[in-house]
Structures are given as C-alpha cells and as structure tokens.
Structure 1
C-alpha cells in the first residue's frame, strides 16, 4: 500500500486524525446518480456471480486470488471508471487497482474479525461509513489491524467513532441499518498468466 507521502495532496484534508496511520474518509465521493448507476450494475450481474457467505453476499471481479497468483480478468467498464479514479489519488503507490469485491449486507449481517466480540481489550475504534463515501486504509491501519462489522440492526454512535464529525454524526445518535452494498477496491500485486496456473510451460 502507499505510504502517506505518496498519496495525493487532495486527500490530506480527509485524513482521520484520531486513528492509527493511515485512514482517509471522503464523504460524498460519488453522486446520487452514480450510486444509483452502480447499484443497477451490481444487481444486473448474473446470479452465478453472487457467492453466499456467512453474514453477506459477495461478487468477485478482476480474477480469483490464488496462492500462486491471481488469474486476472478484465474489469467491466462500469467498475473501471472508479478503480482508475481511486488509483489516481495515489491509493496504491502508483499502481492501478485490479480487483473489486462487491459485498451486500442485510440488517444484522456483518463480518467477524476472528477475535471474540467479548474481547473488548482488542477494540481500538469504529468508523462511520455514510452512503457514497470513500474509505482508504493504508500503512499500519491496513497491515496490522483486524476489522469487522458487527451483525446488528441498529448502531449507537459513541465517542470512539474516529471520524464522527467528518461523517456528520453525534454521540448517542442511533442509526437503523438497511441493506448496505460496499465495493472493496484493491491492487493485487501477484498476478499470473493462465498458462502458469494451468501448469503449461
């Protein structure tokens, strides 16, 4: 991932100061029309494109990650615009994003961190992600910290939400969840050709 000094100066104002390095939160990164367009494309995807996991549904675009390297596939045009836009911010140290995960969460769905939820001593902070916002995690925050989404129907905001003011939230505010669709855009560094994965010389 990019170091903070490699990130576009345009992002400096969006750095989350009350978090370990490095977190950027950009509200309203896309317009309402772009949001509607992206959701249309997500739900137009053929049914086999969806994978049902515990706590969410998932679409995988750009290739299937593999220990020997990802067998890359061309991203569809509707995703390319956004992978290029985020790459241009310096989010991937000059490289271009080549992989996208689309996650759909219903209320009370989420992702476990691998750490028991009762082990509060491991909890560092929360982030509030509004619709159409962009979250960039780099450096220590990306490499050393586990993240998860608790499977609840209602969230109550506390002072431990690191980007509370940037996201327009208030301590004590309760937010009822609807269906959430998120795009995880990343650069997979290890990519292999089809003949290598298939064992051809």
Structure 2
C-alpha cells in the first residue's frame, strides 16, 4: 500500500487513488492493438457498451480460470506491485468499450470480487483505484476495522459513467490536469481495463 498512498486524492474519499500517466502512450497503443485484434467471439455486446472477459467467468460457485494473455499480464503485475489488492494479486480483467453517449449507472462490482476496483483508462493513461481501507483503520484495530471500512466503502462509494456526448470541467473533477473550469470535452470511444481479484477460483483450469 506504501506505493499507492502518495496517489490518494485529498479532496475525494480516502478510498480513492488516482495514478496519472500509469501507462505510456506506447503501452496504450500496444494494449489497444491487442484489444481490437481479439477474435470476435471475445466481445460481448450489451445494451450500452461491449466488453471482453479475460481470466475466466466469475460465478458464485467459483471462477473457472483461463490463462491471462501476456499482453495483459504486465499491466496486472504493475498494479499488483502497487499494493492495490494487498496480499492478493489480480486475476481477472474486463475490457469495456464505450462509444460517445454510452455509459453505465453508478454501481459496485458485487460479491464475487475482492472489494477493490482498479481501472486503467486508455486515452488518459491513468489508473483509478477504489475501496482500499485507510492505513490508520488497519493499525488501530488490526484486521477487523480495516476490513469493515473496506466493505463499507465498497457499498457506499459507487462508480459509473454518465451517458453523455461531452463532459464539462467542474471544480469536482479531480483529474482536470490544469484544464479550466467550464471547458467542454467532446467524447470519443473510451476503452478501459477493469482489473480485479476474484477470490473464489476453481482448481480446474480452462485450456484454450
């Protein structure tokens, strides 16, 4: 967690960390090339976005794991090294594609995942990490207090994307990167990697 703490956003809830320039433009190009080179069956078309599942399909009885491709592994390892998932390591990636005007309602990712969300936003080169417990909560009451705060944050701090075609910079946009308040940004296609840890994994591995 030490490597992540310096990226905490002071004005936001304590569970929010924002790492600018997490991936370089070259890394971003490489990731996008692999995303769009994936076979068509990899894509699932939903009402307001399409997505790819990597690592297996999470299920209440346990995820049947599949090998993570090398082009995703390096990014996952870097996120794990920051301490985003504590003692765990990420083992699942959801690639989301939103076109201009598409979005998703505020939500949590549900009980199948460790209550930590890390999203690499391709286009802004940034990493957003949510729901880590505060250090002082862990120190005051070892594991129980830290876990309770993490669970509370997971249910109370939601994440989502407004279904609009342009965004306006306001004082509450924490990653404005020096852009003036009131500036309007026209959206293009947005691709993000939501990288998570699925704690319940079946021992049988899926071979492709």
**What's the TM-score bracket when you normalise by the shorter of the two chains?**
0.7 to 0.9
1 CA distance for matches of 2:155 and 2:74?
Answer: 26
Matched, 1:174 2:167: no
Q: CA deviation at 1:55?
A: 1.1
Matched, 1:55 2:44: no
Pick aligned residue for 1:149 from 133, 146, 161: 161
State which drifts further: 61-70 or 105-114: 105-114
2 CA distance for matches of 1:11 and 1:146?
Answer: 20
2 CA distance for matches of 1:108 and 1:188?
Answer: 30
1 CA distance for matches of 2:127 and 2:66?
Answer: 24
Matched, 1:38 2:50: no
RMSD, aligned CA: 1.7
1 CA distance for matches of 2:175 and 2:180?
Answer: 7
| Contact persistence 2:3–2:83 (CA under 8 A) | no
2 CA distance for matches of 1:147 and 1:55?
Answer: 16
- Tell me the alpha carbon deviations over residues 144-177 of structure 1, each in whole angstroms, 9 at most, x when there is no partner: 222211110010111222x145x33332111110
Q: CA deviation at 1:141?
A: 4.2
Q: CA deviation at 1:76?
A: 0.4
2 CA distance for matches of 1:137 and 1:10?
Answer: 15
2 CA distance for matches of 1:55 and 1:103?
Answer: 10
1 CA distance for matches of 2:20 and 2:198?
Answer: 25
1 CA distance for matches of 2:47 and 2:84?
Answer: 29
Runs of 5+ in structure 2 lacking a partner?
A: 108-120, 132-149
Matched, 1:83 2:76: yes
Q: Secondary structure at the match of 1:148?
A: strand
1:125 alignment partner in structure 2: none
- Aligned residue pairs: how many? 172
| Contact persistence 2:52–2:96 (CA under 8 A) | yes
| Contact persistence 2:18–2:126 (CA under 8 A) | yes
| Contact persistence 2:4–2:83 (CA under 8 A) | no
Superposed, 1:55-74 pairs within 5 Å as 55-74=48-67
| Contact persistence 1:164–1:170 (CA under 8 A) | no
After TM superposition, the score normalised by the length of structure 2 is 0.77
CA spacing shift, 1:17–1:84, aligned 2, 3 Å: same
| Contact persistence 2:4–2:84 (CA under 8 A) | no
